[in-house]
Amino acid sequence: MILPIIHYGHPVLQQKGAEIHKVTDSIRQLASDMIETMYASKGIGLAAQQIGKALQLTVLDVRGADRPSQLFVGAREMSLDIMMPLMLLNPKITKQEGEEMGPEGCLSFPEIYTDIPCASTIHVSSTDLNEEPIQFIATGLLSRAVQHEIDHLNGILFIDRMISSARKTLEPDLLELKAQTLSELKKHHKKASRGV
Ligand code: ZN
């Protein structure tokens, strides 16, 4: 099922996600719906906050992207076709190396793109949908995407990572988007309180 994506201005985007200790059928269904939603939106990653749930769950798939990625398990480079889509529960960055600037966008900020600094290489420790631990090293676009998604799971948005001049330039667009989201939320609340 394709789920509606929450836009900037909704408070759930700034909530830290609760850790998931038991993978229930509803978590499995949620992960599968998130993957469907990510593909339908042509995104390369989606965090649970973006569909309105403050949980430590994110899905990623960088195969269709125009920038390269590498994923290593131990010393071995893995084929992205084997590893994607990635479903990560309670992921943490245990080590990071290097820094780079690159263009970034977010499904919760339609049509807003800017250069964002991020670590070049990250070591990630996570759990998969079988409650098994998974550890990997990511470089390139995957490294950037995983950092972006882990930020979401902690209530941090890419606008919090922008350099101040970029943030200033985008401020009018951000204010407009926030106002639009809040007015839609208000409409929704009014409807809900009337019981329709
Ligand atoms: Zn995002």
**pLDDT given for residue 190 in this prediction:** 82
Q: How confident is the model at residue 16 (pLDDT cuts 50, 70, 90)?
A: very high
For residues 121-140, give the mean pLDDT. 97
Q: Per the structure block, which two tokens stand in for 3?
A: 């789920």
Instruction: For residue range 156-177, list pLDDT tens digits in order.
Output: 999 999 999 999 999 999 999 9
For residues 53-67, give the mean pLDDT. 96
Alpha carbon of 96 to ligand 1 centroid (Å):
20
Alpha carbon of 114 to ligand 1 centroid (Å):
13
Catalytic one of 99, 104, 149, 171: 149
**pLDDT given for residue 193 in this prediction:** 76
Alpha carbon of 143 to ligand 1 centroid (Å):
14
For residues 39-45, give the mean pLDDT. 97
CA pair distance 144, 115, nearest whole angstrom: 11
> Which residues, 6 or more positions from 139, have their beta carbon under 8 angstroms from its beta carbon?
69, 70, 120, 121
Q: How confident is the model at residue 87 (pLDDT cuts 50, 70, 90)?
A: very high
**pLDDT given for residue 194 in this prediction:** 73
Cβ < 5 A residues, ion ligand 1: 106
**pLDDT given for residue 189 in this prediction:** 83
Alpha carbon of 77 to ligand 1 centroid (Å):
26
Q: What is the largest CA-CA distance in the chain?
A: 59
**pLDDT given for residue 64 in this prediction:** 87
* Residue 149: active-site member: yes
Provide the percentage of residues in the chain whose pLDDT is more than 70: 99
For residues 102-118, give the mean pLDDT. 97
How many residues make up the chain in this entry?
A: 196
For residue 195, pLDDT beyond 90 = no
For residues 78-97, give the mean pLDDT. 98
**pLDDT given for residue 6 in this prediction:** 98
**pLDDT given for residue 91 in this prediction:** 98
Alpha carbon of 1 to ligand 1 centroid (Å):
20
Alpha carbon of 151 to ligand 1 centroid (Å):
8
| Cβ–Cβ under 8 Å, residues 69 and 62 | yes
| Cβ–Cβ under 8 Å, residues 58 and 150 | yes
Alpha carbon of 105 to ligand 1 centroid (Å):
7
pTM, two decimals, is 0.95
For residues 127-145, give the mean pLDDT. 97
For residue 196, pLDDT beyond 80 = no
Residue 73 belongs to what H/E stretch? strand 69-73
Q: How far is CA 171 from CA 10, 162, 176, 185, in A?
A: 17, 11, 9, 21
Measured distance between the N- and C-terminal CA atoms of the chain, rounded to whole angstroms: 23
What is the overall mean pLDDT for the chain?
96
| Cβ–Cβ under 8 Å, residues 155 and 49 | yes
